[in-house]
Structure 1
Amino acid sequence: MVDITAEGARTTAAAVANAFLDIQAGDNSQYPRIDQMKLQKLVFYAHAWWLAHTGTPLFGDDVEAWPWGPVVGDVYGNFKEFGRNPIQGKKARVLVRRDNGPFMKFEIPEPPDEQVLSFLRNVWEAHKGMTGVQLSNATHAPGEPWAIVKENYGVLDSKPRISNTLIRDVFRSKLANVN
């Protein structure tokens, strides 16, 4: 099975994470605030549904099967200091090369385009009422990409990659069951 590559990705996982934090900041309704776990699952669901709808990746970052569910390592690294507390006052940064020279620095990534932002707002509306633990539990259900990888690996200490093809196929079957 040939996996879907990152080619054609619309944005970065860090930009998606930042977009969810911005969307939350503009939402005055009542819901569990975004903590590290909720952010990871929102980023995963956005990527999964984008793959299901378009067949292309939302971002080029790898989604890995960690013991507590699907995780994008760079997003985790950006926000790990918050632990179980709500994420406040911080944006994810990515390492970029400046002026094609030898130097690199961390910068806040460009926000996603309006089409992607509209899509992310829909993902937010569908999932904002859930806690990080509830979202994590949903990713552990039988037949979910994380659960399939867990079945194949057993222990997830190596944090194996969850293929884009697997994610797309699982979420496309969900779309087919809805329609």
Structure 2
Amino acid sequence: MAEILDVAKYFILLSEPNTKRNITHLKLQKLVYYAHAWNLALYQEPLFLDDIEAWVHGPVIPELYDAYREYGYTEIYYSNDLPGNTEDLMNNEIDIIEATWEMYGQYSGKYLENLTHLENPWINARQGQDYYDHGNNIIENQDIQEYYAARLQGDN
């Protein structure tokens, strides 16, 4: 199973600075979430063990947030000094990361945030909260797996 910071660093490695296929912290959070979601849907196992919380700006992994919060809304450039080690990733983990990048890499972080706000896993985890409440409810892997597996079947 992958480590969250290894997954994130691989996405940054794939990014194309100064283009719409760049990476910001917001976009990184959503890409990592989508890679995890599709891994659950396709292989019935999580990509990583970290909890995903339903924050106001969409799904967030707190450890990843802490590692990249200093970037704010600025672009993140690849560097060997970034946390994580891409060499620790297995081929199947790299495959899901690259497939996720191909599917979502051209979109902005804000677009991906809005997309997650339309999807049941985030909506369900935010139940009972006002839209702008901070909130840190867990988005359950079972909810994620069921939702994205149904999308694979064309049910959503």
Query: TM-score if structure 1 supplies the norm length?
Result: 0.77
SS across alignment from 1:162: coil
Which residue identity lines up with residue 154 of structure 2 in the other structure?
Answer: N
The share of aligned pairs that are identical, in percent, is 30
Whole-angstrom CA distance in 2 between matches of 1:41 and 1:158: 17
Give the CA RMSD over aligned residues: 2.0
Correspondence for 2:71? 82
Of Structure 1 and Structure 2, the greater strand share is in 1
Q: TM-score, normalised by structure 2?
A: 0.88
Q: What SS does structure 1 have at the residue aligned with 2:147? A: helix
The runs of at least 4 consecutive aligned structure 1 residues that moved more than 6 Å come to: none
Could you list the runs of 5+ residues in structure 2 that have no partner in the other structure? none
Aligned to 1:33: 22
Distance in 2, Cα, partners of 1:59 & 1:162: 14
> What is the CA-CA distance between 1:28 and the residue it aligns to?
8.1
Residue 147, structure 1, aligned to residue 123, structure 2:
yes
Q: Hey, what's the Cα distance between the residues in 2 that align with 1:16 and 1:166?
A: 21
Q: What is the CA–CA distance in structure 2 between the aligned matches of 1:77 and 1:122, rounded to whole Å?
A: 26
The residue type paired with residue 154 of structure 1 is Q
Q: Size of the alignment, in residue pairs? A: 151
- In 1, the alpha carbon distance for the partners of 2:134 and 2:111 equals 22
Which is higher, the Rg of structure 1 or of structure 2? 1
**One-letter code aligned to 1:23:** L
Q: Secondary structure at the match of 1:65?
A: strand
Answer yes or no: is the 8 Å Cα contact 2:53–2:61 preserved in 1: yes
Q: Which runs of 5+ in 1 are unaligned?
A: 1-9, 94-107
Inter-partner Cα distance in structure 2 for 1:61 and 1:131: 24
Q: Which residue type is aligned with residue 60 of structure 1?
A: L
Distance 1:29 1:116 in 2: 26
Report which of the two has the higher share of helix: 2
